[in-house]
Chains A and B, each alone.
Chain A
Amino acid sequence: MTAGPVLELDAVTKRYPAQPPVIALDEVSFEVARGELVAIVGPSGSGKSTLLHVMGTLDRPSEGTVRISGFDVSQLNDRELAGLRATEIGFIFQQFFLAEHASALENVGDGLLYTGAPAAVRHAAAAEALDSVGLAQRARFRPPQLSGGERQRVAIARALVGHPAIILADEPTGNLDSATGKTILDLLDELNRAGATILVITHDHEIADRMPRQVELRDGRIVADSGVAPSGQMMRAAREPLVR
């Protein structure tokens, strides 16, 4: 089976209507192959969150093409995009966004809520995902009873519970101290080695430098991409950015 890129962006532009119009993304093109761990790094306001929303089909680009698992996003209606998010994309946010009244297990199970999977299947998958982030012992805990790092690990388990084609993380360590942040980055590394495709957005070059590939964004434009090899093959070894 020939597997194309998990994620393809081709000349993606995102304009926000304002006076004057804000060009948050300006002809952004890049690909993410299966199994990659990519950092998108850039200063505040460079368009990182906008890019994540466009890649995650939460927003449509003004121009250009986005493909996820081969699906051209512009060809899909809102309900199909929702289905794509339910099955193909996992999100991790800076603010965790966990339901406070629900247990860690239920929060993780919610990652499969909109796939229509029966409760028993969701619970089994959630227990497995919690185990893979090292929180099997905390399944019955509710978020207020967990530390910040543990909460983010619950959110990570929720993102990967459905085995999505790609996991998109927006500043996953932004609300954590640096030591806890490091354990989260170690976890993402470990999950990537186990096969997950992960794209991490950060403003922190130190974090980006840990990743096998860095894409640097400035004023809505890609100014450097360490991972694009001439053959189009990913280069896990290339840790030096092209432009610094």
Chain B
Amino acid sequence: MSASDDHPAAVAALTAHPNGGPAVGHLRSADMLRIASIGLRTRRVRAALSALGIAIGVAAIVAVLGLSASSSANLLTEISRLGTNLLEVTNGQTLFGQTAELPEAAPAMIRRIGPVESVASTGSTSASVYRSRLIPAINTNGLSVDAASTGLPGVVGSHVIAGSYLNAATETEPVAVLGWQAAQLLGIDRIYPGERIWLGGTWFYVAGILSAATLAPEIDSSVLVGFTAAERYLGFDGHPTTIYLRAQNNAVNAVHNVLAATADPETPSNVDVSNPSAALQARADAQSALNGLFLGLGAVSLLVGAVGVANIMVISVLERRSEIGLRRALGATRGHIRAQFLSEAVLLSLVGGAVGIGLGVIATAIYASAKHEPVVIPASAWAGGLGAAIAIGAIAGLLPALRAARLSPTDALRTV
């Protein structure tokens, strides 16, 4: 038959029969990728909007993980720099609810505990402090005036950022050192010779300003004077209110356990003992609890994004019935149709996920560099973001893809 010359494919199929069946339909993976992206390429605004939920969710998760990694990296170096062996002894309350008093001898007693390396103390006074004597006495400014021992900065991990700290000579004189917040509130940022503040009815010379005491933040808003000067000029009774000490690293708990009884052998229950670096650690934990909240919000956003993708895929399958029918007529199997719509959903959420990772990294970089923290994006953040996007696309696309594949080609072709 003359026609056979023009129909090599048909002839090949005929000669193949009856030994075997016809060739089974086959689609190249490059072509699958191309047809899976049709929906994205032809309906860009819709694709962008439906991927937005996933982008926001992934961005939130990446940013939260990135920010907490950056700030915990920062906090960890801070904690290890400051040491975890600082203990704090404060006067608690008596059985009758009154403020208790630490014995004057308590610092010396504590210094005698073997594994204690150094001790410093402060004692609060009732004096007020002003920049000048013209400010009315009612105008209190939230600053406290405390007697402080000469070793205080070394024990709490602070240092002078201007001038010098109290020493054996200035400890007895009307000389004050300012915590950094106190200095700010008094409007003093440099030390001039002869600089004075009006403190408890006397002029005190300002000797220095301390850096932030991360482990003892109460010092930041204090004006510190020597114990002797406090007793001489401010009517201070000499009882310490807070004792700071450093214990040997391996004996922190042991020292912690005997501190109350050592500080006040008669009424140890009047004494509070705490570990400020543990408190800092607790603050980091509280921060990660907040992270949990944001991660939850990110997860909710991802869920909303998944619903968005599923919704758009359902609509897409309905709209593209005739395309599905045509593809079946061209030789697509149910599997090809299923794979096409599943890949389209995954591709859609992958685009959302990639955009989300970009946004999350940018947010982390901006925030961390503003806080002078290192920018740390843990691998789990972006890998998790991409993984979540793929999983969401697959889950959201599964039902629409199954529906598309189940559609009978005749029904699909009849709809117009």
Q: Which of A's residues lie within 8 Å of B, judged by CB?
A: 1, 3, 6, 34-35, 49, 53, 56, 58-59, 69-71, 75-76, 78-80, 82-89, 91, 93, 95, 97, 99-101, 110-111, 113-116, 118-119, 158, 162-165, 194-197
Given the complex, which residues of B lie within 8 Å of A113, measured CB to CB? 27, 31, 35, 330-332
Q: Once the chains bind, are A35 and B1 in contact (CB under 8 Å)?
A: yes
Known: A1-B4, A56-B329, A113-B330. A93 touches B413 (CB 8 A): yes
Contact of B10 among A99, A158, A165 (CB under 8 A): A165
Contact of A76 among B3, B22, B30, B38 (CB under 8 A): B22
Please tell me which stretch of B12-20, B83-91, B254-262, B299-307 contacts chain A, meaning at least 4 of its Cβ atoms lie within 8 angstroms of it.
B12-20
Asked if B81 CB lies within 8 Å of chain A CBs, one says no
Q: Once the chains bind, are A88 and B322 in contact (CB under 8 Å)?
A: no
Given the complex, which residues of B lie within 8 Å of A97, measured CB to CB? 322-323, 325-326, 413
Given the complex, which residues of A lie within 8 Å of B17, measured CB to CB? 69-71
Q: Once the chains bind, are A34 and B4 in contact (CB under 8 Å)?
A: yes
Contact residues, B350-400 vs A (CB, 8 A):
none
Q: Once the chains bind, are A79 and B14 in contact (CB under 8 Å)?
A: no
A172 to B: closest C-beta gap in Å: 14
Q: Once the chains bind, are B410 and A82 in contact (CB under 8 Å)?
A: no
Docked Cα-Cα span, A79 to B331, in Å, equals: 9
- Which 6 residue pairs across A and B have the least CB separation, nearest first? A86-B331, A116-B26, A114-B331, A195-B6, A195-B3, A82-B25
Given the complex, which residues of A lie within 8 Å of B250, measured CB to CB? none
B336 to A: closest C-beta gap in Å: 7
Known: A85-B330, A165-B13. A114 touches B27 (CB 8 A): yes
Docked Cα-Cα span, A158 to B329, in Å, equals: 12
Given the complex, which residues of B lie within 8 Å of A165, measured CB to CB? 7, 10, 13-14
Q: Once the chains bind, are A99 and B21 in contact (CB under 8 Å)?
A: no
Q: Closest B residue to A4 by CB, please name it.
A: B14
A110 to B: closest C-beta gap in Å: 6
Given the complex, which residues of B lie within 8 Å of A101, measured CB to CB? 38, 41-42
Contact of B25 among A56, A79, A158 (CB under 8 A): A79
Given the complex, which residues of A lie within 8 Å of B336, measured CB to CB? 82, 114
Docked Cα-Cα span, A154 to B332, in Å, equals: 20
Given the complex, which residues of B lie within 8 Å of A70, measured CB to CB? 14, 17-18
Given the complex, which residues of A lie within 8 Å of B10, measured CB to CB? 6, 69, 87-88, 163-165
Contact of A116 among B15, B28, B42, B414 (CB under 8 A): B28
Docked Cα-Cα span, A58 to B334, in Å, equals: 12
Asked if B95 CB lies within 8 Å of chain A CBs, one says no
Q: Once the chains bind, are A95 and B322 in contact (CB under 8 Å)?
A: yes
Given the complex, which residues of B lie within 8 Å of A99, measured CB to CB? 38, 323
Q: Once the chains bind, are A80 and B416 in contact (CB under 8 Å)?
A: no
Docked Cα-Cα span, A89 to B17, in Å, equals: 16
B38 to A: closest C-beta gap in Å: 7
Contact residues, B300-340 vs A (CB, 8 A):
322-323, 325-336
B236 to A: closest C-beta gap in Å: 85
Asked if B226 CB lies within 8 Å of chain A CBs, one says no
Contact residues, B163-192 vs A (CB, 8 A):
none
Q: Closest B residue to A59 by CB, please name it.
A: B410
Q: Closest A residue to B23 by CB, please name it.
A: A83
Docked Cα-Cα span, A80 to B26, in Å, equals: 10
Given the complex, which residues of A lie within 8 Å of B331, measured CB to CB? 82-87, 113-115
A142 to B: closest C-beta gap in Å: 11
Instruction: A53-B409, A197-B3 given; name 5 further pairs at CB < 8 Å.
Output: A6-B10, A79-B24, A88-B13, A91-B329, A95-B322
Q: Once the chains bind, are B22 and A88 in contact (CB under 8 Å)?
A: yes
Q: Closest B residue to A100 by CB, please name it.
A: B42
Q: Once the chains bind, are A87 and B330 in contact (CB under 8 Å)?
A: no
Asked if B2 CB lies within 8 Å of chain A CBs, one says yes
Q: Once the chains bind, are A87 and B6 in contact (CB under 8 Å)?
A: no
Known: A97-B323, A162-B9. A82 touches B1 (CB 8 A): no
